[in-house]
Structure 1
């Protein structure tokens, strides 16, 4: 399958944007390396939404509208995984119970609280950064954060080994594929001050600790864990940029 077809396959699965019909979803695992490029699309559109919103409303309102745009574009794909992980690891006491809770479609107290705190933190950070830079920060954040699930997939095994539809889609990106994805993930940083590159080690550190935590408790990762890695990487990027901006 060509690179363009793989990209559109990833775009159709990870977003609600229109894409060519008759996609070959058996190739979806290989298409996952285009996640950072999907981040270009989502980050670019949410950044544009923020920019246009600041022409009419306060920056906090623009930040909320940009986050709403991102949720509409992706169908809350990653946020849903984050909520499931909060419920599973918050309420589960062993691997089997954690996996059972994460598979439940209903959201619990841990998931609800986690989402409220996560979205509140994003709104606070995007509201405090210079408005002229926020569109580029959103663009870079969405791209860079989507590299982290690929790193988790590379280093760990899929945790649901029995009776799981998702286990058939478990995929280990090669080092070459990770380098390919990393190029797209890091490139948007050229639009920001050079010091913003210092945010990268913090993102990788948090992602590494998350991977260790998941591996210790459930022996690997699930799709919900991947969504959580993306969300955590995004908010850590915003936190790091906010802290670094005092020196820019």
Structure 2
């Protein structure tokens, strides 16, 4: 359990806990059960960073730095996947051409627009949340977005011969999905109670629809597709938080 959790931390973040262990594809697949917990811990870092910023900076500047830090903490792993996926979907005419474009290291117009959109919406949502609402968003959004990754790979087909997502897609077991779901649903429910239902339902519905669409366009799931849905789910959670904070 601890070993899998450490592997999850090392894969998802900039933090290196141990360099001695040789990580296999099986280790990575098992570590996915703890992805939401890593997301929650990233949220804890953001919450305390936000509190530190509040003593010295206007909230607008602090929020811009929070968005930047959230990207740096994860080595821009998921937002890179978002850019590649959008470039492929928008630029390719068939499955093969879309996958080929996604492998190109150069970023296209669609990718740039996607990155700008995601960062801008996250920033604007933070600007419209205060006190407990903002704290809860910072804790829950990274967690639910990592949970969506488990929903993306469970019993899915990996479309490439090899790649970063190969260790995860189709290799997450039911027990891993159950642990991942228990963490995400349990913490979200504990923090929010009734409003948690909207966030959980939104994450499930959006992820399954997104997975269906990407499989239709690409022929399966890739690592980039997982990252793209993770980022978009974080945007969805942020927007839902703003809506719920306004009394809906």
TM-score after normalising by structure 1: 0.92
Q: For residues 75-110 of structure 1, give each alpha carbon's deviation from its aligned partner in whole angstroms, at most 9, with x where no partner exists.
A: 111111011111111111111111111111111111
Structure 2 equivalent of residue 24 of structure 1: 22
* Shift of residue 42, structure 1, vs aligned partner: 1.2
Give the whole-Å Cα distance in 1 for the aligned partners of 2:75 and 2:17: 15
* Shift of residue 64, structure 1, vs aligned partner: 1.2
Q: For residues 146-181 of structure 1, give each alpha carbon's deviation from its aligned partner in whole angstroms, at most 9, with x where no partner exists.
A: 111111111421111x3x244652443222221111
Do 2:39 and 2:146's aligned partners in 1 also have CA atoms closer than 8 Å? yes
Partner of residue 13 from structure 2, selected from 15, 22, 36? 15
What secondary structure sits across from 1:57 in the alignment? Answer: coil
What secondary structure sits across from 2:65 in the alignment? Answer: helix
CA-atom RMSD in angstroms: 1.6
Matched length: 244
Q: For residues 213-236 of structure 1, give each alpha carbon's deviation from its aligned partner in whole angstroms, at most 9, with x where no partner exists.
A: 111111111000000111111110
Structure 1 equivalent of residue 183 of structure 2: 184
What secondary structure sits across from 2:48 in the alignment? Answer: helix
Structure 2 equivalent of residue 121 of structure 1: 121
Structure 1 equivalent of residue 63 of structure 2: 63
TM-score after normalising by structure 2: 0.92
* Shift of residue 193, structure 1, vs aligned partner: 5.6
Give the whole-Å Cα distance in 2 for the aligned partners of 1:167 and 1:122: 25
CA spacing shift, 1:117–1:15, aligned 2, 3 Å? same
CA spacing shift, 1:59–1:192, aligned 2, 3 Å? farther
Structure 2 equivalent of residue 53 of structure 1: 53
Structure 1, unaligned runs of 5 or more: none
Structure 1 ranges of 4+ moved more than 3 A: 165-168
Give the whole-Å Cα distance in 1 for the aligned partners of 2:212 and 2:11: 27
Give the whole-Å Cα distance in 2 for the aligned partners of 1:187 and 1:54: 29
